[in-house]
Structure 1
Amino acid sequence: MMTGTYPTILYVYMIFYLQNPRSFLTPYLTGPVHNLNLEEVTNSVFPVWTYSYLVILFPVFLLTDYVRYKPVIILQGLSYIIAWVLLLFARGVPAMQGLEFVYGMVTATEVAYFSYIYSVVDTEHYQKVTSYCRSITLVGFTIASVLGQLLVSLAGISYFYLNVITLISVSIAFLSSLVLPMPKKSMFFHRKVINHSNGVASEEPKVTSDNPDLPSTESQRETSKKNSGPNFFKVLWLLCKDMKECYSSMQLLYWSLWWALATAGYNQVINYVQVLWENVEPAQNSTIYNGGVEAVSTFLGALCSFAVGYVKVNWELSGELALAIFSAVSAGSLFLMDYSFNIWMCYAGYLIFKSSYMLLITIATFQIAVNLSMERYALMFGMNTFVALVLQTILTIIVVDSRGLALDIITQFLVYGCYFAVISGIFFIRSLYIFISYYKKKQSADIKSETQL
């Protein structure tokens, strides 16, 4: 399988795709170009992204595998271009809601990039390309954030022209996606299986003849016609069966529960933190450093994720306690951001919050992936993300949307802080149960061994 040119093209695609100055999106929307107020941005525009992402994610998850990734990667690039054309040239709340809907398509189709890379390399290269993908993601976000901050602070570039640069960048990414090859296999619908009789790989579903008198080709055509319809539903049934087996493990169930709960809160904070910063320190009154903060937070998150690989901990025993402790840290950082009237304190709280989440999500990812095959990991990742989006949608409807409570941004972050405090409480109780059960088993084992002696 390919390991050279085409993965390199995909890395180039990802680098240009990530040149995205959303760090300055709120100041741009509330500035003189769009002239929206914070209430319109918070309660009417940003919630559309959450709803769009939720509605599109599950169909795209199945479609991505069924069409073998490349068409969805192209769709992602095209959606990105449409989104930034709307951001640059469309005006008004409905137009920006359309932008957020298209951006929901962009984020929902991200699964195609991470799935594609495994389909064009051999199994022995998985660890290397996974490392490359994580590095490219870090480099892309860091370059975008640092470049955006330098252009705004030092060169005096307006937010409009910053978005023009982004449009050019994602257009290059779109063009690079066109030269990618179409994979011959995928994880679920187009698997490669080994014929153990001759050791040759063949593509599923495999068609065989029930009638030895029929010629092989004619038999395969007829059987293929009979099975072409039910195959899709057969795969869905197998996915549901795999999902049931994945969540039958209590340990994986609780790690997935944290993943969904924390990711819902994390996405909500990331989506609205610029509104909080704008409320504390309006961009029109002073120079803002959103891009620099995003770059530093990404770097710190990467360091925390990297450090996880060198920490020797019995995660089966202490994992839930770590989730409880760092969820409490996340809650504390959100309260710091909420009650502070100093922008630098807000920035510091954000750095702590993002680093804590990156640390824990890395641990959760490792704990889930280590016990699953690649196919089941992808399935569990997709389902956890979907559940997180459902929870995030509920939060958005109740807390943010103009049809719900439509709380002001300060009260919103108070809610988010309480939300992470509840998560911390859940896993603190769970960790107590694990420790008590462990020591009871240990005592029983010691008593049994003494009795035998």
Structure 2
Amino acid sequence: MAMLRGNNPIQRQAMDCWKGATGHSWIYPTLIICANGFFSTMRPSESFLTPYLIGPDKNLTTEEVTNQIFPVWTYSYLALLFPVFLITDYLRYKPILLLQGISFIATWLLLLFAQGVLAMQMVEFFYGMATAAEVAYYAYIYSVVSTDRYQRVTSYCRSITLAAATLAAVLGQLLVSLADVSYFHLNAITLASVSLAFVASFFLPMPQKSMFFHRKDVPVALPGPDQVVATVSSHRPSSCPEDKGSGSAGREPTPEQQAGRAQPQNGVLRVLVQLSQDLRDCYSSRKLLYWSLWWALATAGFNQVLNYIQVLWDFRAPSHSSAVYNGAVEAIATFLGSATSMVVGYVKVNWDLSGELALGVFSAMDAGSLFLIHFTDNIWACYAGYLAFKACYMLLITIATFQIAVNLSMERYALMFGFNNFVALVIQTILTVVVVDSRGLGLDISTQFLIYGSYFTFIAGIFLIRSIYTIISINHRNTSVAAESSSH
């Protein structure tokens, strides 16, 4: 403890974090937040949501589930994401974790005991609120531990949620296939799990600082919800290529910044101006712009596939007359996604030269997988197409995450990742309104996957053309340089 005393602001900050934790160390809040993450992610009924809604428990039609109920999640998530992001920072994370717990509990209480389309739309609304509140999970831990613990606690938080998701899928499949547990009781188990997550969040110590509204002497950057980079990169990026002075992680606050903190009534406006300046600076880099463009486009399509894949499986092999293996497929998909993400950390590739080519090629493979899902009537081929699709996406999103992160200061990459996901959600909402919603085209589920396959073909075309242009430009430049050298 004596070693933490001193005039160094980082040491003072670490001391504040040490004092703020009820367990008198970084271990206590890490254990509690990991417990929260485990129980909130351990939802064995999620792989069987569509069979539950379409089956005798809720007795809804496929069209009602696809065109009227599931789109509500996208709309509510989009409406809540930005305000929840700001409120999360202002309230210092813990209250939003409590809100997430309440939202999960409301979601599964309605799933268990409510009936009708309107009630299930409310389920999707509360689930959208819980999804929007996920930002608090990763942001919280960085506000109560010192910077030298960031990499370790990120690894713990990320690993525990991946383990919980895999365990939930396996457990759900075993209970359904071997123990003949009903979908209703599977949802009851999920309700118990998310309730434990809610209880765990009560024991979290309240942070004394946050990224924007409650800064200490040293601004601390909080990595964003998508922490794939934490398991891939062993170092921390230090600067943005077009850094124009809007805030690096190690800079002392200017008198103007201190004056801004003294005017809390202007805090929201000041934060919004700072956010817009940081985004403008970082998107002025062409490299970051192209990687972010793929991120937003592909994530929108990925989320659409995840939202409606269970409906297509039920269409190919109706759950009332066929064995359901949704949990097993999700478990394998999660494992493959984790494995492909880890592989990126060991592959030595010049991503400046080959990155856009990889985006184009693997996006084309995603498109092929979705076309397979659309054109085949075999449920096993549908499962295989989904596994290939998710593995390719997880590989690419890891590369994109890493490429963006290494070009940004720690203070900025959480913001940029969040904005990329917001743009993805806007695109996803447009897809939902046009393709899925009954007020739009209201297409049947098989035709939807034809649209999604065409969508990824469009993405692949953009980046294949861009990669060809990049490779030709680099080769031409190298040829010019070699010609000049030989002439001298």
Structure 2 Cα separation of the partners of residues 179 and 150 of structure 1:
32
Which of 235, 257, 267 aligns to 2:293? It is 257
Q: Is the 8 A contact 2:340 2:395 kept in 1?
A: yes
Q: Which of these residues, 462, 467, 474, is aligned with residue 438 of structure 1?
A: 474
Does the alignment pair 1:131 with 2:165?
Answer: no
- Residues 203 and 86 of structure 1, relative CA distance in 2, 3 Å threshold: farther
Tell me, what secondary structure is at the counterpart of 2:179? coil
The residue number in structure 2 matching 1:307 is 343
Whether 2:66 is the aligned partner of 1:28: answer no
Residue deviations 1:171-221 (CA, integer Å, cap 9, x gap): 0000000110111111122222249xxx9x99999757xxxxxxxxxxx9x
Is 1:369–2:405 an aligned residue pair?
yes
Equivalent residue, structure 2, for 1:237: 273
Task: Tell me, in whole angstroms, the C-alpha distance in 1 between the residues paired with 2:116 and 2:447.
Answer: 26
Aligned to 2:77: 53
Q: Which runs of 4+ in 1 moved over 4 A?
A: 201-208
In structure 1, list runs of 5 or more residues that go unmatched. 209-219
Instruction: Report the Cα distance in structure 2 between the residues aligned to 1:312 and 1:405, rounded to whole angstroms.
Output: 45
The total of aligned residue pairs comes to 434
- Residue by residue, what CA displacement relative to the aligned partner does 1:256-291 show, whole Å, maximum 9, x if unpaired? 000000000000000000000000001110210000
SS of equivalent residue, structure 2 residue 407: coil
Q: CA 1:106–1:445 in 2, change beyond 3 Å: closer, same or farther?
A: same
2:205 equivalent among 178, 181, 191: 181
Quote the residue 1:214 is aligned against.
none
Q: TM-score, normalised by structure 1?
A: 0.93
Distance 1:236 1:3 in 2: 31
Map 1:171-250 → 2, pairs under 5 A: 171-194=195-218, 224=262, 227-250=263-286
Residue type of the alignment partner of 2:41 = L
Q: What is the match of residue 62 of structure 1?
A: 86
Code of the residue aligned with 1:383 in structure 2: it is F
CA distance in 1, matches of 2:384, 2:255: 52
Q: Which residue of 2 aligns with 1:148?
A: 172
User: Counterpart of 1:318?
Assistant: 354
Q: 1:419 aligns with which of 451, 455, 459?
A: 455
Equivalent position to 1:167, from 191, 212, 224? 191
Distance in 2 between residues matched to 1:116 and 1:194, nearest whole Å: 17
- 1:298 corresponds to: 334
Q: 5+ residue gaps in structure 2?
A: 1-16, 18-24, 220-249
Matched, 1:351 2:375: no
Q: Distance in 2 between matches of 1:8 and 1:264?
A: 33
Equivalent position of 2:317 in the other structure: 281
Q: Which residue in 1 is equivalent to 2:304? A: 268
Deviation at 1:134, TM superposition (A): 2.1
% identity of equivalent residues: 63
Q: Is 1:447 aligned with 2:483? A: yes
Alpha-carbon distance, 1:354 to partner: 0.4
Structure 2 CA distance, aligned partners of 1:320 and 1:170?
40
Q: Give distance in 2, aligned partners of 1:169 and 1:89.
A: 17
Secondary structure of 1:371 counterpart? coil
User: Are 1:329 and 2:365 matched, yes or no?
Assistant: yes
Q: Secondary structure at the match of 1:35?
A: coil
In structure 2, the CA distance between the partners of 1:156 and 1:429, relative to structure 1 (3 Å rule), is same
Is 1:121 matched with 2:145? yes
Tell me if the contact between 2:29 and 2:141 (Cα under 8 Å) persists in the aligned partners. no
How far off is 1:375 after superposition?
2.4
Match of 2:119 among 68, 80, 95: 95
User: Is 1:11–2:34 an aligned residue pair?
Assistant: yes
- Which one-letter code corresponds to 1:50 in the other structure? T
The residue type equivalent to 1:292 in the other structure is A
Q: Please say if residues 33 and 157 of structure 2, whose CA atoms lie closer than 8 Å, have aligned partners that are also in contact.
A: no
Matches within 5 A, 1:375-390: 375-390=411-426
2:195 & 2:314 partners in 1: Cα distance?
30
Distance in structure 2 (CA, Å) of the matches to 1:430 and 1:311: 22
Contact 1:193 1:204 in 2 (8 A): no
Structure 2: how far apart are the matches of 1:175 and 1:131? Answer: 23
* Matching residue's letter, 1:9: I
Amino acid at match of 2:413: Y
Secondary structure class of the residue paired with 1:313: coil
Structure 1 residues 443, 66: CA separation in 2 closer, same or farther (over 3 Å shift)? same
* Alignment partners' CA distance in 1, 2:459 and 2:201: 40
Please tell me whether the aligned partners of residues 280 and 341 of structure 1 are also in contact (alpha carbons under 8 angstroms). Answer: yes
Alpha-carbon spacing, 1:194–1:86, altered in 2? closer, same or farther (3 Å): closer
